[in-house]
Amino acid sequence: MKKVIRREHVSDEHLPDSLPSIIKQIYARRGVESAQELELKVTNLQGLSVDKKEEQALKGLDDACTLLHQALLEQSNIVIVGDFDADGATSTALMMEALASMGSKNHTFLVPNRFEYGYGLTPEIVDIAASQGAQVLITVDNGISCVAGVMRAKELGLQVIVTDHHLPGHELPKADAIVNPNQPNCPFKSKSLAGVGVAFYVMLALRSYLRDKEYFVNHNINEPNIAQLLDLVALGTVADVVSLDSNNRILVEQGLKRIRAGQTRPGIQALIEVANKNQQQLVASDFGFALGPRINAAGRLDDMAYGINCLLAPDLASARVMARDLDDLNKARREIEQGMQLEAEQIFKSLNFNEAHFDENKLPSAIALYQQDWHQGVIGIVAGRLKEKFHRPCIVFAKGNEDESLAPELQEIKGSARSITGLHIRDLLEHIDSQHPSLIIKFGGHAMAAGLSIKQHNFDQFEQIFNEQANKWLKAEDLQSVILSDGELAANQLTLAFAEQLRDAGPWGQNFPEPLFDDFFILVQQRIVGEKHLKLVVEKQGKVFDGIAFNVDLKTWPNSQAKQVHLAYRLDINEFRGKRTVQLMVENITAA
């Protein structure tokens, strides 16, 4: 059972008095230190000073711009090597469109099929790019750990520009240029840029570089408006669940503004339509829960090139066709994921870890599961679902793509990891790798998500070590499932106007969570909709409100004995047949 804890009151005197007091407190609790952080203007982005000696600029920009300028002058064959998730897709689309706007007529993209080649710039992908005539390789959302791939590219005489945001390992690739805020000695303060954010900065810097070289004038090219790419930046940033620090909030807010104003590409417009979202009322969470998963479905089940081509669609008609196909893929992905999740939960039940009545103190500190017939494309989602349900770091493994002639125990399995606050999952994997050098074949990732490969016959050993090390790294309080509340709202605050104020106070996201409140309500009505969602009507101070709780425990709800409930909820706006009403999005419900 989740425990609801109210956030402590903090000083908010440094924030403008023009803000409603509750919103001031919400901002202060999320670490906003000045009024300037609330001015989400492009001019407040880090590293955009006209001073060429900007001390906070991304390391490697000058080298990358010099190489790309020469490639444009010579019309070199440029191949963008992307990744098979929404961040990689938006990064690739952004690079494709930006280079075209700067006069390149000889560039294309290549995304490794996860089922054949795995992640990143591998030697095999380099060979494919070289066979297609590549002269310059640009990685987006990958590359910082691709030492062997870059080495292969240099052996073949290719130039390599790495743009990435993942944490580097002990050895950096020998690329001609590396742009990554997390590489050693990079002074750029916002270390939380997504891959698409890094790509955006590279293209901004390239435009400035070309302007200084009078490239646009000399080649009779209209100087491109790089701000037109912010819709892609916003989508990729939220979908990749990177921390929404002040810099990322600017990028997301500016992208949202363009989309709401109708200034977006046909591909994103088509995805909004197929997800049944209102473009004028789009919020950041729609990127993560509606648009992003449909793009990701292409990389998880088929070929991410289809998702990228949707984002690059030249007109709405063709974009709609691709968006519908992506929607179908996403439905198939959900079916596979649900089946796998049920199987994973059955494994837990066989271990007497039934979440409905389990003792949190008896659960292992970490979860590692493997089943040979699980689908490699959705293991990350399943790991995330299990992490949410059991509040434990979780790694789900599926069969890799080894030679079928190998004995099963010698084949590789690939794992996708999701973590909880308090455990940096990539650092833990690095520690395990240092202590047991032959156990993990390769790994990489972030604080909250990572990927790795091991030999199938090593799974039991890895599971034991993973749990032992997680137990050492985690404190008891880290393993308690807690919901942080911003307190209660009076009935006269549960209004459409205040819900809109909260929405406009965003964008909300990772490490800048949407406000959540808790309170007691009289339970007026309750019924199940959509098989496992609880539709509610509740009352407070004589006023009634609609609410909905998703994926409730059907063994507990509906509860005919409950007369009063304690809800932890977000204040949302429901739109139905043109009518907008307040709705409580219930995160946790208990009978009171």
- Strands (DSSP E) found in 496-556: 517-529, 533-540, 543-549
CA separation for the pair 539, 520 (Å, rounded): 9
CA separation for the pair 584, 387 (Å, rounded): 24
* CATH number of the 55-327 domain: 3.90.1640.30
pLDDT of residue 357: 41
Which residue's entry shows tokens 């402590």? Answer: 8
121, 85 Cβ separation under 8 angstroms:
no
Q: How is residue 45 written in tokens?
A: 């982005």
The CATH number of domain 351-480 is 3.10.310.30: yes
Phi, psi of 519 (to 5 degrees): -170, 170
Is residue 388 pLDDT above 60, yes or no?
yes
Who has greater pLDDT, 446 or 220? 220
pLDDT of residue 370: 92
Which residue's entry shows tokens 């009352």? Answer: 539
Mean pLDDT of 74-102: 96
Coil vs helix vs strand at 540: strand
CA separation for the pair 526, 589 (Å, rounded): 12
103: buried, middle or exposed (CB in 10 Å: 19+, 13-18, 0-12)? middle
Which residue's entry shows tokens 């008891």? Answer: 476
Who has greater pLDDT, 402 or 185? 185
457, 420 Cβ separation under 8 angstroms:
no
Q: How is residue 19 written in tokens?
A: 């803000």
Q: Which residue(s) pair with 138 in the sheet?
A: 80, 161
pLDDT-above-90 percentage for the chain = 73
pLDDT of residue 278: 93
Alpha carbon of 426 to those of 168, 395, 399, 498: distances in Å? 10, 12, 21, 40
pLDDT of residue 49: 58
Per DSSP, 578 falls in state T
pLDDT of residue 169: 83
Please choose, from the candidates 526, 536, 421, 426, the residue with its C-alpha nearest in 3D space to the C-alpha of residue 481: 421
Tell the CATH topology of 483-591. OB fold (Dihydrolipoamide Acetyltransferase, E2P) (2.40.50)
Is residue 408 pLDDT above 80, yes or no?
no
pLDDT of residue 404: 63
Q: Which residue(s) pair with 576 in the sheet?
A: 579
Please choose, from the candidates 441, 463, 462, the residue with its C-alpha nearest in 3D space to the C-alpha of residue 453: 441
Q: In the 3-class helix/strand/coil scheme, how is 342-363 assigned residue by residue?
A: HHHHHHHHHCCCCCCCCCHHHC
pLDDT-above-70 percentage for the chain = 94
Per 3-state DSSP, what percentage of the chain is helix, strand, and coil (rounded to 5)?
45, 20, 40
340: buried, middle or exposed (CB in 10 Å: 19+, 13-18, 0-12)? buried
Q: How is residue 80 written in tokens?
A: 């963008």
Q: How is residue 50 written in tokens?
A: 């006209």
113, 171 Cβ separation under 8 angstroms:
no
* C-alpha torsion sign, points 25, 29, 30, 33: positive
134, 159 Cβ separation under 8 angstroms:
no
Give, rounded to a whole angstrom, the gap between the first and last alpha carbons of the chain.
14
Pairing of strands 367-370, 3-6: unpaired
Q: How is residue 411 written in tokens?
A: 């084949």
pLDDT of residue 66: 97
Phi, psi of 94 (to 5 degrees): -60, -45
403 falls in which pLDDT band (50, 70, 90)?
low
Q: Which residue(s) pair with 367 in the sheet?
A: 394
Q: How is residue 540 written in tokens?
A: 């407070």
pLDDT of residue 241: 87
What's the pLDDT tens digit per position in 3-49? 899 999 999 999 999 999 999 999 999 999 999 999 999 999 988 75
Indicate the helix (H) or strand (E) that contains 567. Answer: strand 564-576
pLDDT of residue 50: 44
Mean pLDDT of 555-584: 92
Per DSSP, 181 falls in state T
CA separation for the pair 40, 56 (Å, rounded): 19
Q: How is residue 348 written in tokens?
A: 């837990």
What's the pLDDT tens digit per position in 478-533? 888 889 999 999 999 999 999 999 999 999 998 999 999 999 999 999 999 988 89
Which residue type does 384 have? G
37: buried, middle or exposed (CB in 10 Å: 19+, 13-18, 0-12)? middle
Q: How many CB atoms lie within 10 A of CB 322?
A: 23
CA separation for the pair 61, 344 (Å, rounded): 45
Quickly list DSSP for 101-155: HTT--SEEEE---TTTT-SSS-HHHHHHHHHTT-SEEEEES--TT-HHHHHHHHH
Indicate the helix (H) or strand (E) that contains 483. Answer: strand 482-485
CA separation for the pair 174, 121 (Å, rounded): 13
Q: How is residue 452 written in tokens?
A: 């790795």
Quickly list DSSP for 20-81: -HHHHHHHHHTT--SGGGG---GGGSTT--SSTT-TTSPTTHHHHHHHHHHHHHHT--EEEE
What's the pLDDT tens digit per position in 148-196? 999 999 999 999 999 999 989 889 999 999 999 999 999 999 999 999 9
425, 393 Cβ separation under 8 angstroms:
yes
Phi, psi of 148 (to 5 degrees): -65, -40
pLDDT of residue 356: 41
**CA torsion, ordered 293, 580, 503, 284, to nearest 10 deg:** 10
443 falls in which pLDDT band (50, 70, 90)?
confident
Alpha carbon of 191 to those of 45, 185, 244, 297, 508: distances in Å? 13, 12, 11, 27, 18
Average pLDDT for the chain: 91
Q: Where are the domains of the chain?
A: 55-327, 351-480, 483-591
Q: How is residue 498 written in tokens?
A: 């205040």
pTM: 0.88
